Structure 1
Amino acid sequence: MLLDRPLLRRLFHLGALASRGMTLGVRGVALDGAGRVALVRHTYVSGWHLPGGGVERGEAVRDAMVREFREEAEIVPQGEPRLHALYRNVVAAPRDHVALFVLPAFTVLRPKAPDREVAECAFFALDALPEGTTRGTRARLREIHEGLPPDPNW
């Protein structure tokens, strides 16, 4: 078969990537002992969001989530983040997907200092989320808190 040749197989996959490219991101839910969730406010987009970002080339999804928790919220997992669901994020792009993780236990190393990407990071009670918390963030927290099935779309 023609696709058994390594170079042709590689070209086929590159062509598929170019014509059907997809982006993948991660978001994470970190609830502290008081039932408060970590949210971040970015410098480049409005609203409060769950910590997260893009998966880098060659990076495992789980590793991307651990990295984003540390970069955006100074959170270090104690144990494995649990994959909750995979969503299609049509608001960002037609082929964007988001893997949502729940972190059962963690340590906050220090308060997150503002930087070029994160203007603010704080913990909020689920019944007192800040004004500007995005619709997608509210929906994901409601699914987790109320044990609802995940919506396929972010």
Structure 2
Amino acid sequence: MKLTRRQKFMQTAFLTVSRFSRGMTMGVRALVVDDSQKVLLVRHTYVNGWYFPGGAIDPGEHAFAAVERELSEEAGIGLTGPPRLLSVFQNAHASVRDHVVLFHCPDWTQKRAPDVPNREIAELGFFAQDDLPADISPGTTRRLEEWRSQIDVLPVW
């Protein structure tokens, strides 16, 4: 169905007002596990703790593309199969309007050596699930336990 000029104007106006009055931010995180069942974690330069790799979804970008881009940028990893959606969480620690889309990325390859440290990533590594860094973020710990133990997912990061 083709929109009239007035409908297009009203739609644009509504979306613009909504963006400022009800703006929402959304990011992605990737659960990547190697052949020895070690999990990939990164430590950013701008926040304390270890996290799953990930970041913001850019305007006009879909979540699958964002997780693929973030893995490439942060860890030099390329996906060889589609990421699998695990859940969407509200990240109230950042903002009541922030959400995180968590993907399990079982099919991947190391396409290049990661350029670490850099401006964004201080360190990265694969960690045994029974020997995680002491300062892993609480949200990352919960998500890993939910995935590993197949327990109910809490809706808040």
TM over 0.5: yes
| TM-score normalised by L of structure 2 | 0.93
Aligned residue identity for 2:63 = V
Alignment equivalent of 1:122, drawn from 115, 122, 125 = 125
Aligned residue identity for 1:96 = D
CA distance in 2, matches of 1:92, 1:107: 31
Aligned residue identity for 2:152 = P
Summarize deviations over 1:107-137 as a string: whole Å, max 9, x none: 1234422110001110001111011100000
Give the Å deviation of 1:9.
2.0
CA distance in 2, matches of 1:5, 1:78: 42
The 3-state SS of whatever aligns with 1:120 is strand
CA RMSD of aligned residues (A): 1.3
Count of residue correspondences: 152
Aligned to 2:146: 143
Aligned to 2:95: 93
CA distance in 2, matches of 1:107, 1:5: 46
Answering whether residue 49 of structure 2 is matched by residue 47 of structure 1, we say yes
CA distance in 2, matches of 1:5, 1:117: 43
Give the Å deviation of 1:96.
0.1
The 3-state SS of whatever aligns with 1:116 is coil
Aligned to 1:28: 30
| TM-score normalised by L of structure 1 | 0.95
Give the Å deviation of 1:143.
0.4
Deviation beyond 6 Å, 4+ runs, structure 1: none
Q: Which segment drifts farther, 75-84 or 109-118?
A: 109-118
The 3-state SS of whatever aligns with 2:152 is coil
Give the Å deviation of 1:8.
1.7
Alignment equivalent of 2:18, drawn from 8, 16, 19 = 16
Distance 1:11 1:34, change over 3 A: same
Give the Å deviation of 1:31.
0.5
Runs of 5+ unmatched residues, structure 1: none
Runs of 5+ unmatched residues, structure 2: 1-5
Q: Which segment drifts farther, 74-83 or 89-98?
A: 74-83
Aligned residue identity for 1:114 = P
